[in-house]
Structure 1
Amino acid sequence: MDTCPPYPTPPGDAPGGPSRHAHWWQRRWVRYGALVTLLALSGLVILALVRRQTGTEGFLVGLGLAVLPVPLLTAAFRWLDRVEPSPWRNLVFAFAWGACAAALIAIVANSFATHWIATATADADGADTLGATVIAPVVEESAKAAAVLLVFLFRRRDFTGIVDGVVVAGVTATGFAFTENILYLGNAFGTDQLTGDRGIASVTAATFFVRVIMSPFAHPMFTVLTGIGFGIAAMSGDRRRLRRLLPPPAGLLLAMGMHALWNGSTTFGEYGFFAVYAAIMVPVFGLLTWLVVWTRQRELRTVREELPAYTAAGWLNPAEPFALASMRARRLARDHARRHLGRQAARTVAQYEAYATSLAFLRHRGRLGRAGADFTVRERELLHELWRRREVAQPALDHAARMTTPIAAPPWPGYAVHGAYGTYGVHGAYGVHPRPPGYGSYGPATPYPYGQAVPYPSYNPYRTPS
């Protein structure tokens, strides 16, 4: 069995390890239990409140209609997150927080504030307008931003950039919009039951068209602005305090402003809603979509530029940085493993891709002087996870790299790999592939053949960026 390259010695006082003397309330199962209990109680209370306002029949109709955009929005955010996928537990928490905790906070706070204003001013119509345009945006965006803040603080390793902020914020807002749509659609159905309206002219149809067809992205778009602020903060080093502290509240203020403009559009005249929708909402949605897609492409470029250092040190095969920097090659690698070794092998390749991407991002932050104090420990953990899965993942990625290269021979030296599918470049499962002189069946014969201890790629991750 070949020996992995040596690990760096982690500092003895490196933070991040579990405390031997942690109090009972600091234990993971206690915190998880408290969080699950909080969300479950919030869900039960919000369920009772919505059902009380809409009635059982209205609740069921609202639920059936409100669930329609949820899979599409969730799939869109998962697509954006394919380079370094967020753990499912983070996304489940974000959706549950938005649908239960944030929705409960919003309903209680909005109702209380609007009732108080109406009592103080004796103007019910004015109180409703003020509540929709001022109170609701502040309360709702703050409640949704709490989920992003919690992930940012307690799942910091999973929150490394703009895309992570966008995905967590978007999924949270999707859950919030889901609950809110149940309430609006259920009330609309109740109104139609009282008036006897049916068909496309009903209040239910109009509400469904505006909230589900025209603007399912409204709440996610508002909260994404907050997520971008947290993403910028996550990319900043500890020494740049202003860059770490200012973007999150700035993003939250922008989210509140956009939300207030959207809610107040109906007060701008007969065509105010359509004017705001066409002139502001659609262009901002397009701009944010472009920003996130561009950021995702930059992440792939980071993978391609940072991983060759680990190739030179003997941790990765020469073809892997090219394959891991292409979403098409990643998919081909998973399909290849699934065909030859089954679904579990495909999951192993997917995990390998995720860990390698995290490693590239970690090195990139270290090179820019933005790494945390646990840089060495985290790097060692990621390399260990890669080494455990290399026998299955490396041949699949090598195959994908060759399949996505438009020329006869790959542009990287020493691409021959030995693993679960045979030896590529010698007499493996896919025939004989040429390799340059001086390269063995395990990659480059010099200067660091696989199976031999090699120098570890080292640099100072805490240097001041130039």
Structure 2
Amino acid sequence: MATSSVYPTYPPHPGTEALRHPHWWQLRWVRYGALITLLAMSGLVILALVRKETGTEGFLVGLGLAVLPVPWLITAFRWLDRVAPFAWRNLVFAFCWGAFAAALIAIVANSFATKWIATSTADPAGANTLGATVIAPIVEESAKAAAILLVFLFRRREFTGVVDGMVIAGITATGFAFTENILYLGTAFGTDQVTGGHGIVSVTAATFFVRIVMSPFAHPLFTTCTGIGFGLAAVYGSRGRARRVLIPLGGLFLAMCMHALWNGSAAFGQYGFLAVYGTFMLPVFGLLTWLGIWTRQRELRTVREELPTYVLAGWLGPAEPGALGSMRARRMARDYARHHAGRPTARAVARYETYATALALLRARGRRGRAGADFAARERELLEELWQRREAARPALEYAARRAAPAPVPQGWAPAPYGHAYVRGPGHGYGPGYGYGYGYGYGYPQGPGHGYAQGPGPQPAQGPGPGYGYPAAPYPSYNPYRM
């Protein structure tokens, strides 16, 4: 079935027409090439600086020890991101930015600022303390926040909430901590060699225990506050430009404060480090871990609650909302597709799950009045992606629903008084073949210019209240609820 036979061609919105002859700096391959070149050059420079500080032997020892927590941290953030995963290229960018660009900015700026303070005061020791507790948190957290800002600006459609902010922030900070740990561990190893030790002894072991065993989550913990700020801006930023700016800045400020407290803990006395670690770091780590898991479960609940409306329009099968709202069922669906149809089909099922989740989250934002101006275009785009993969995904999801998922249709659906609509409480109604609309106190599409009706063609929805409607599926006869 050709797409053009189902979806009509709409004229572009004024001001969004594609340029016939874009400038060379607007070409995608030029931008990607420039970004890769920047990161590669930053990586070569920062690794050369670290090797100069530690020596070749110390660099290799530091590299071997610093890499140990990286797989565990990345796995943890990938697990958190499984509901609506970022593309790998975004995560690779975040890690490389943290490990190379942010680390290079930090080492150059910190060294310059500390030397300047030392030459401007009569207390070099005080300059080092000031550099560690004030300069380093500001510089390092700002450098890491730049990666989150870039993803937020240039991958805005994928950056939809708190979990996305936490994941990008955590991956960026993991890369930064990796490079920083090479420097600290390599320097500690060199100190042991100078003092007459052989191999990994006193200073190296202590540094390894503090940075790798006790606090591998320190940098991810700080920067996650910035990520949460950007995530909240993605959710609530549609209510005003001030919120889009102030909420991320608030998260960045909190990250700097936490970083400063951690770096300054050594100045709080003999047991200052342990006191800060036990009374502050661990509780905050537990709180943010709970927040990430709770938000992840909330996203799954949103999938289960929002997608049944698309079942009624014929876009999804009746078993799919329940399966897509369960991580166990989603995993079973991918395994089933891989076992019976191969890896390409399993990848198609994974993409189907991702697009369906994005559709549910988009619909939830629209229902709460937080959708952007491109709501209808983005919704249609996601529906088309789902429709292209339905043949591969539907059998696997139906199998998974039978084995692991809860009932697909939520409670509360009942026939409307007119006999041809299903109503879920006040303000939510569906007429078979006519599209679906969210309103306030009505059962049909509300709000001029926001609803789609009468099959694939767009028509302004009627009614006095705000709301969003979606188009009926090309073949709504699949709908088992049709009367």
**TM-score interval (norm. to shorter):** 0.7 to 0.9
The one-character-per-residue Cα deviations of 1:62-81 (angstroms, maximum 9, x if unpaired) are 00000000000000000000
Q: Which moved more, 1:219-228 or 1:352-361?
A: 352-361
1:4, distance to aligned residue in structure 2 (A): 11
| TM-aligned CA deviation for residue 12 of structure 1 | 2.8
Pair 1:247-2:232 in alignment: no
Match of 1:425 in 2: none
1:441 maps to none
* Structure 1 residue 412 displacement after superposition: 4.8
Q: Residue 320 of structure 2 contacts residue 408 of structure 2 at CA under 8 Å; is this kept in 1? A: no
Moved more, 18-27 or 280-289: 18-27
What letter corresponds to residue 436 of structure 2 in structure 1? Answer: P
Task: Quickly say closer, same or farther: Cα 1:159–1:174, change in 2 above 3 A.
Answer: same
The 2-side partners of 1:213 and 1:341 are apart by: 43
Contact 2:320-2:394 within 8 A present in 1 as well: yes
Aligned pair in 2 of structure 1 residues 51, 147: CA closer, same or farther (>3 Å)?
A: same
Match of 2:435 among 446, 452, 456: 456
1:181-210 deviation digits (Å, cap 9, x = unpaired): 000000000001111235775100100000
CA pair 10-245 structure 1, distance change in 2 beyond 3 A: farther
How far residue 375 of structure 1 moved from its aligned partner, in angstroms, is 1.7
Q: Where do 1:395-410 residues align within 5 Å?
A: 395-405=395-405
Report how far residue 386 of structure 1 moved.
0.8
Residue 6 of structure 1 and its aligned partner are, at CA, apart by 5.3
1:74-123 deviations in Å (ceiling 9; x for gaps): 00000000000001011000000000000000000000000000001132
| Separation (CA, whole Å) in 1 of partners of 2:3 and 2:25 | 41
Aligned to 1:158, the other structure's residue is in SS state: coil
Counterpart position of 2:417: none
Aligned-partner Cα distance in 2 for 1:202–1:356: 53
- The residue aligned with 1:436 is none
- Take 2:247 and 2:107, find their aligned partners in 1: how far apart are those partners? 28
Distance 1:464 1:2, change over 3 A: closer
Deviation larger for 368-377 or 142-151 = 368-377
Instruction: Say yes or no: does 1:295 pair with 2:274.
Output: no
Letter in 1 for 2:326: S
Q: Distance in 2 between matches of 1:401 and 1:15?
A: 45
Structure 2: which amino acid aligns with 1:260?
A
TM-score (norm 2): 0.84
Can you give the 5+ residue segments of structure 2 that lack an aligned partner in the other structure? 411-419, 423-431, 438-444, 452-464, 468-483
**Paired letter, 1:211:** R
Contact residue 61 and residue 189 of structure 1 kept, 8 A: yes
Counterpart for residue 213 of structure 1: 213
Structure 1 segments unaligned to the other structure (5+ residues) = 414-445
Q: CA RMSD in A?
A: 2.4
**How far is 1:457 from its partner?**
3.2
User: 1:237 and 1:84 mapped to 2: Cα distance?
Assistant: 20
Give the conservation status (yes or no) of the 8 Å contact 1:8–1:456.
no
TM-score, normalised to structure 1's length?
A: 0.87
Look up the match of 2:442: none
**Alpha-carbon distance in 2 for matches of 1:44, 1:298:** 42
Question: What code does the residue aligned with 1:319 have?
Answer: A
State the partner residue of 2:460.
Answer: none
Verify the 8 A CA contact 2:114 2:127 in the aligned structure 1. Answer: yes
Give the whole-Å Cα distance in 2 for the aligned partners of 1:308 and 1:330. Answer: 17
Q: Would you say 1:334 and 2:334 are equivalent positions?
A: yes
1:36 to partner: Cα distance: 0.7
State the match for 1:392 in structure 2: 392
User: What's the % identity of the aligned pairs?
Assistant: 72
The equivalent of 1:168 in structure 2 is 168
Matches within 5 A, 1:104-115: 104-115=104-115
